[in-house]
Structure 1
Amino acid sequence: MDLTDAALLVGAGLAAGTVNAVAGGGSLITFPALIAIGLPPVSANVSNSVAVCPGYLASVAGSRKDLPDRRTLAKLVPTAALGVVAGCVLLLATPSRAFELVVPFLVLGATAVLAFQQRLRQLVGHPKDVSARRRTLSVQVVVGVGAIYGGYFGAALGVMLVAGLALVMDATLARVSAIKNVLSAVVGLTTVVIFGLFGPMNWAAVAVIAPATLIGGYLGARLARRLPANVLRAVIVVFGTSIGLFLLYRALA
């Protein structure tokens, strides 16, 4: 890795950390950067998953004032951890081509859920109008599916989590975003352990990107707290649509 490659990875890490905290999808900045410096796709995906983890942790610190009580988080963390383990095993054990074709539609679908959240709530019911058991089950399903996706690929995980949680939780978008940051951190920490032991890791690239995502993640979380709900939703929808179309183009190219 020369100085130019290192500078590219630092810039990508700063941008990715910021984007992950605000809207999610920052991995689509660092992943192409890793490909650009010559890493094979699987190694780039594994290294990328580990490198962006510090940014998730910084996002949690930046959004801590919007977090719910510990009991709420304690119910979600085990589901997220089990889901990401399943996703990591899936990545390391199966061909990725089929999933690459499905991923763009998952991202675009999640973005559409967030964009039309109010209309969908009229169809499925507002969270406060359904039973506590159904609401709890819905949240666990969203977290589990999101974590599996995060362990396998991870790009736009934040978009998918915000879209799903905003639909099934009776909470402000700022709180949903803060919960998203915690769950993303769980996904990130779990991938560090699994891919660190079993994945084709490029530790030099990780060492360059990780500190940059730490700075970007904290700054991005602070910015997200200041944005009005409608503006934050619009940012996530625009970014999620862009990510989905990019992934679709890459999968079909």
Structure 2
Amino acid sequence: MIGPEAVLVLLTGLGAGVLSSTVGVASLLSFPVLVALGLPPVVANVSNTLGLIPGGLGGVLGYRAEVREAGRIARAIVAVCALGGVTGAALLLGLPPGVFEAIVPYLILFTCLLVGVQPRIARWLRERHEQRHGERLAERRHMSPATTVFATVTGIYGGYFGAGAGVMMVAVLGIGTDLELRIVNGLKTLSLMVGNIVAGLVFVVVADPRWDVVALLAAGSLVGGYVGARIGRKLPDAVFRWAVVAAGVVAAVLLF
């Protein structure tokens, strides 16, 4: 791939890296561009997954303080997203194309709703606990079994397709833990990176990516991921929350 198309893919990687580290919808930009350039959907998906791995690395580097602060939750995210990524990649290669097309937009819209109302849900859970037990609910700095299950399901979806997976992970961690949103954003970026790495390793063995596209996306996304993390760390909680909701709604509308 040379000329204007190569420049377009490089810039797409840059933009996708920024989106991955901020609102978590990188594939919303990169996947349609690759399809528009004539790549078959599965080849585009595989190439996109591989090309966004450096973007995740750049993003995690930018969020390294937040990831360290998360402690054992970060390690749990690596484990569940690695498992989910393998499962999702197997589903992508083994199921008929478009098998989840009908439900994915609704799933993304539902998680957007959860991200938007998360502070109210958290407040309601605390008040309910206090009424039942007469004591304050301790800060949740670990993942409960239910949160672990939902994080794994999100990892599976990320390995299968990925558009909106970051929005879903923000919803899961925002409701299932009491971590600050900046830490949730760092963990979301970590989850996307792990999912892409694991799914990418599967694709390298059994699929046929376009390596020229992968290289261009990778170069752009590496820079974009780091830049996006620097932006994401400075976003006020309310701005970040509603930016995630807006990005998720756009993703769902396009998928419709």
Are 2:174 and 1:173 equivalent residues in the alignment? no
Sequence identity percentage: 37
Once the two structures are superposed, what CA deviation does each residue of 1:165-195 show, in whole Å capped at 9, x if it has no partner?
A: 1011111100101111111111011012101
Structural mapping, 1:185-224, within 5 Å: 185-224=193-232
The alignment's TM-score, normalised by the length of structure 1, stands at 0.92
Are 2:249 and 1:241 equivalent residues in the alignment? yes
Of stretches 170-179 and 75-84 in structure 1, the one that deviates more from structure 2 is: 75-84
Match of 1:159 among 137, 156, 167: 167
Partner of 2:238: 230
Partner of 2:58: 58
Of stretches 213-222 and 153-162 in structure 1, the one that deviates more from structure 2 is: 153-162
What SS does the corresponding residue of 2:102 show, helix, strand or coil? helix
CA contact (8 A) 1:56 1:181 kept: yes
Are 2:88 and 1:87 equivalent residues in the alignment? yes
AA paired with 2:29? I
Cα displacement (A) at 1:105: 1.0
Are 2:123 and 1:115 equivalent residues in the alignment? no
Partner of 1:5: 5
C-alpha distance in 1 between matches for 2:114 and 2:138: 19
Query: Cα RMSD (Å) of the superposition?
Result: 2.1
Partner of 2:34: 34
CA contact (8 A) 2:17 2:224 kept: yes
For the structure 1 residues 131 and 96, does the alpha-carbon distance in structure 2 shift closer, same or farther, using more than 3 Å as the test? Answer: farther
Cα displacement (A) at 1:66: 1.6
Unaligned runs of 5+ in 1: 249-253
For the structure 1 residues 131 and 231, does the alpha-carbon distance in structure 2 shift closer, same or farther, using more than 3 Å as the test? Answer: closer
What SS does the corresponding residue of 1:39 show, helix, strand or coil? coil
AA paired with 1:199? A
AA paired with 1:36? A
Partner of 2:102: 101
Once the two structures are superposed, what CA deviation does each residue of 1:18-60 show, in whole Å capped at 9, x if it has no partner?
A: 0110001111111111112211111101111111111011110
Unaligned runs of 5+ in 2: 130-135
What SS does the corresponding residue of 1:194 show, helix, strand or coil? helix
Runs of 4+ in 1 over 6 A off after TM superposition: 130-134
C-alpha distance in 1 between matches for 2:65 and 2:142: 27
CA contact (8 A) 1:42 1:200 kept: no
CA contact (8 A) 1:111 1:163 kept: yes
Structural mapping, 1:57-76, within 5 Å: 57-67=57-67, 68-76=69-77
AA paired with 2:38? G
Once the two structures are superposed, what CA deviation does each residue of 1:128-175 show, in whole Å capped at 9, x if it has no partner?
A: 838979952132112101100001001121111011110111111001
The alignment's TM-score, normalised by the length of structure 2, stands at 0.91
CA contact (8 A) 2:23 2:166 kept: yes
Q: Alignment length, in residue pairs?
A: 248
CA contact (8 A) 1:142 1:165 kept: no
For the structure 1 residues 236 and 33, does the alpha-carbon distance in structure 2 shift closer, same or farther, using more than 3 Å as the test? Answer: same
For the structure 1 residues 165 and 133, does the alpha-carbon distance in structure 2 shift closer, same or farther, using more than 3 Å as the test? Answer: closer
C-alpha distance in 1 between matches for 2:76 and 2:201: 22
Match of 1:147 among 144, 155, 170: 155
Partner of 2:132: none
AA paired with 1:109? F
CA contact (8 A) 1:80 1:144 kept: yes
C-alpha distance in 2 between matches for 1:145 and 1:130: 26
